[in-house]
Amino acid sequence: MLKIILLIMFITNSFLYADEGMWEPYQMKGLKKELRTSGYNRNVSNVSDLFKHPMSAIVSLGGCSAAFVSDEGLIATNYHALKEDFYNLIQIQKLIYLRQVLLREQKMLKKGLHLDQEYM
């Protein structure tokens, strides 16, 4: 039974082929044809040379990597690289909103109003 399962796995796996992945910069020149057919229309030598743009724009995000993809500072990275930063930003925005509400309530209390009386 085990031999049959292994034979089936071997036969099915021999037809599988992955055409995508993470490529090293030195492999880019060899993938020029594939890059062109997938829609990349820039100079392939730029993505194979670590000292030319865009490869020279690689940045580190606390253990993860990213790359600048525009002159305006837009970066491309994976979600997990920024997940904690997004969480922290949301927490900061919540604190700013809470502070604004409290300041608004203080102003209203000075006028002798309460939040529930504002629109009455």
Distance CA 4, CA 9 (A): 9
What pLDDT shows up at residue 96? Answer: 92
pTM summary value: 0.34
* Structure confidence by residue, pLDDT tens digits, 71-86: 777 777 777 777 877 8
Nearest residue to 25 (alpha-carbon basis) of 48, 42, 44, 43: 48
54: preceding bond cis by omega (within 30 degrees): yes
Helices (H), the chain: 2-13, 32-37, 44-48, 79-110
Annotated domain spans of the chain: 1-77, 78-120
Percent above pLDDT 70 for the chain: 85
What pLDDT shows up at residue 114? Answer: 64
For residues 7-36, average pLDDT? 77
Edge-to-edge order in the sheet of strand 75-76: 58-60, 65-68, 75-76
3-state secondary structure 62-85: CCCEEEECCCCCCEECCHHHHHHH
